[in-house]
Structure 1
Amino acid sequence: MRYGAIEAGGTKFVCGIGNEEGIIEDRISFPTEHPEQTMQKVIDYFADKNVTAIGIGSFGPINVDPSSPLYGYITTTPKPGWANYDVLGKLRESFNVPFGWDTDVNAAAFGEAKWGAAQGLDSCVYYTVGTGIGVGVYMEGRLVHGLVHPEGGHVMIRPASDDSFQGTCPYHGDCLEGMAAGPAIEQRWGVKGSELPVDHPTWDLEAYYLAQSISSTILMMSPKKIILGGGVMQQAHLFPLIHTHVQKILNGYIRTESLLENIHSYIVPPGLGTNSGLRGSLALGVEAKRNQQ
């Protein structure tokens, strides 16, 4: 059987076709424009693909409550035209198949749990650190929702004593996203992070802020793997800095080999590379079909 996958990002959409083993057989990407234009491209792509189900991992916030009349909607995004847009409703006009629906970062966590760095484990937390910061949570063999869905990019952190930057988040100022996402790096230093040398002080500061959130995640949820993806985390030298800061913050309180001796194998890059989101969306489609049976 062939399954459809949609990684619906705020900058671009990636659509693909794959199988239940997680292999992507075909894909296409295009910029995220006005919803009607963008969704028509999605529909045109899948029109002749004869897919069994479609999984969607979407930028948000989104409504993930199946009992809500707004299930399948993007809700309060500032992206022009997309606030209160019914993504699933639009797709259902053209395709009579089961749909999987979740946040883009939950989809990435799901992909990593099925076929990536957390394969064989029943829990992981996935951070994407890029234009924004998102957190996906997979615990006890399922994706976590609740009142809405995890919004771990907006947890509050403790600013470094020598950092007077006020943050970029329009809601919270100096939350994790406001202090550590790509735009925060650029605004703090006047250049994109990709242009800064590996010994620039921003990287230790970045690692410190991410480590605060990661340490809280370890203490609160005790996941068996933490995976860090997104554009900022392409700076591979961040990982050892984060490992060091997490160990300092936890200060030996969690006495497990994974943190004390093998932290380099516990806080890791995505096993699926840049394909976590698309393959995770594929996994959402496969699960939706199984749940229907």
Structure 2
Amino acid sequence: MSTIPQSASQSSYQPIIPKDFNANQPKTIKLYPLSNYTFGTKDAQPEEDPSVVSRLERLETHYKEHGMRRTCEGILLCHEHKSPHILMLQIANAFFKLPGDYLQAEDDEIEGFKTRLNDRLAPVGSQFSGEGVNDEWQIGDTLAQWWRPNFETFMYPYIPPHCTRPKECKKLYFIHLPRTKVLSVPKNMKLLAVPVFELYDNTQRYGPQLAAIPQYLSKYNFEYLDEEGNTIAETPGIGDASSGGAKVVAGDVDMHAGTNGVKEEAA
């Protein structure tokens, strides 16, 4: 899954480094270890609807008043043992979902999504202080859009040809986690780090939307860092920026692009 860079290798037998294999590649993503993040709890957030029927009825009411409902969910990535893990909420020890929720009709998409993420995961009160407390969310690429053509449970990663007025659109965003962050979870939920290999092709347990996340992430290369920010592993074939290969890094670190020596400081 990953290659140990020469600077972190403890073996005298070094791997053969291929030519750069990073053409037209999205940003390389830096992943920090799960141990860098602090987790707390806050008051429970019970589900708004007692049943699936009531949820669909509320969706129908929303559609009649405001049109298609907009839902945003975030994919938060860290790593354990040099393997990508996704932070997911578990409800009632059985149901998994990504952080996020539907937007209010008047909300701006990105700002409304940040509000929803804060509702779910931002710490409250003075329980925590210091770095990573209530930092701004870094909303990255839209990785997928799922459409609900009717007032029913089925959603599709495309709009069926007979559907001209979908009832809901759910967007999955990549959320860039900084080096450290404090997350507070409602007491009636758990925040679990689920490895991508557990999700892959596992629709029976996670459903088609979550089971497809490994495919969404496959377009990225990953660079795995330790608690101090040193690279301990990386995706094979991402090239070496010092030798002219393109290496663009997302997050709060330097970014190098192309072979012309351009260097930008990310916020």
Q: TM-score, normalised by structure 2?
A: 0.25
Q: Which has the larger radius of gyration?
A: 2
More helix by share: 1
Higher relative contact order (CA 8 A, sep 6+): 2
More strand by share: 2
